[in-house]
Amino acid sequence: MIPTAVASCGDDNPDCQFDDGAWGYNYLKESSAAMAFLRDDGYLPHKPYSCCRNLRYCSRGRAQAVQAIKREELPFYANVLDHIPSFGYSSWLGSFISSFKYVGNAVQILQEGRAKYKETPFKVPTLNRWIVIIDRRHLEDIKKSTEDELSLIEAANETAKVDHLIGREISSNPYHVSVARIHLTRNIGLYYPDLKDEVHTAFEELLDLKDNAWKSVPAMDTMREIVCRASNRVFVGLPLCRDPDWIDLNSRFAVDVATDANILNMFPKFLVPFVSKILPNTAAGIERARKHLDPIIKERLRCMKEHGDEWSNKPNDILQWLIDEKQESTTKQLTLRVLTINFASIHSTSNTFTQALYNLAAYPQYVGPLREEVDTIIREHGWTKEAIAMMCKVDSFLAETQRLENVLSASVQRKAMKDLTLSDGTFIPKGTYLSVPTYLMHRDSTVYENPGCFDPFRFSKLRVDGNESGRHQMVAVNQDYFPFGYGKHACPGRFLAATELKTMLAYILTMYDVKFEDKVSRPASIHWDLNVIADPTVRVMFRKRVDS
């Protein structure tokens, strides 16, 4: 982050490249916090000198350094982003106040900012950084950019503090992403019977319905456990996917990482490595997971050593695919990869399905058409991957749920790794964070008719009426619909997630009736910062299906 090139102090130094060294030092002195940061890290002397030859870094270099500090460590300094309009206060104290408003009212601020600035990028302050909100037309810039220009990995790493909480190798060598992208998609037909079996078994065991009596369950907790079991049937296989402690730790891990990351985001960067070592939640989850996976990994490595790359009854799951890559071989390394994949999938998938369940209970008039589709297809094709792919109305129901209740109100986040200019001429300095207001784009009246209304068959009707049927599937990624992200970094596991979600919804439609325990209308989502969360307090009632 700190530039190392020697510049100048404006004296007679023959190495001088600039003639405004005094400006550099005075500029640096504007921020005592930045001075302290640089001094503590050894980048500044504890007293000023008159000549840059006596300094570790020259005055111009220090001026560039403080700009980096203002971008990275002191988010409420807006100097390097002064050319981009702010929504809310832009002063240090004012932006700090505005950041708290953003945490509780992100959607409202995004709406008001878009109304004021239209398609022009604008910035909003969060608790630890400025975020530049860009428009739909900038999605092409993101699509065309390389990782060393606009980085999703670095944006996610900074937000979730992955390097410090999980491990630096996760972001420095994210080979698990390509494993998921290639194998999860290519092998759906092979692992679908296991996935289906786990969905069906999990529902039966967790609901445990008797006769035709209604039973009330906590919706979010129950759906999260089913998602965790079904996903881990693909990630680590039987019997671990059904182990109560494994399910509990993976259900909690995303929350633990988010909690610890929020704490770390309150500290300056130079303190983060030290504070992260005393945070207990994430580290405890990693150790629990390591104990579960250690005997499994050792047995698989033994089989590979004894039989080579192929052997009888070789597992077909993500853990084995990671081992087959031969990039890592220790229990600790492979445990971190499996936990990272769980972290990236369990929370978003379970939240999405809970939102869909609320829609099913809130709009019973759509159960009939959905059941008719599912019953017809299952009767003819059985529970197969091909049958699930034919369920256009089920797909549309889930796609519409994602459109209105996506897990993030602003997504497609990127960090600028170098200075660059967007296609509309907007200059983006290195270190700037960009995001697209998904909540607004998915409610754009120029794209969607009655955009605020839940129309479960909106996308299936478009697939019938239009020629671009693939564009209107829930796994689609385009400028009008991007709950799974956009560009080359669109979620690599979205095909597994879609298949899992559709199987779960189809099974409920086939086997159960649902209703809210004590609510008449659909419960509102909880908005916290950029997160959109299904109300975790809601209880939903199930009974065995009764045909009228």
What are the binding residues for heme? 491
* Token digits of residue 107: 């959607």
Q: Give buried/exposed letters for 284-299 (b at 16+ CB in 10 A, else e).
A: ebbebbbebbeebbee
Give me the residue label for tokens 């009426």.
465
CA proximity to 438, closest of 475, 399, 410, 403 = 410
How open is the CA angle 533-538-540, to the nearest 5 degrees?
A: 120
Question: Do the bridges between strand 433-436 and strand 130-133 make them parallel or antiparallel, or are there none, so unpaired?
Answer: parallel
Q: Which residues pair with 461 in a beta bridge?
A: none
SS3 per-residue string spanning 219-246: HHHHHHHHHHHHHHHHHCCCCHHHCHHH
* Token digits of residue 235: 């990630």
CA–CA distance from 482 to each of 189, 342, 474 (Å)? 25, 21, 9
**Beta carbons within 8 Å of 405's beta carbon, 6+ residues apart:** 352, 355, 525, 532, 534
Element (H, E) at 512: strand 512-516
How many whole angstroms separate alpha carbon 70 and alpha carbon 269? 12
Q: Which residues carry a binding-site annotation?
A: 491
Element (H, E) at 141: helix 139-144
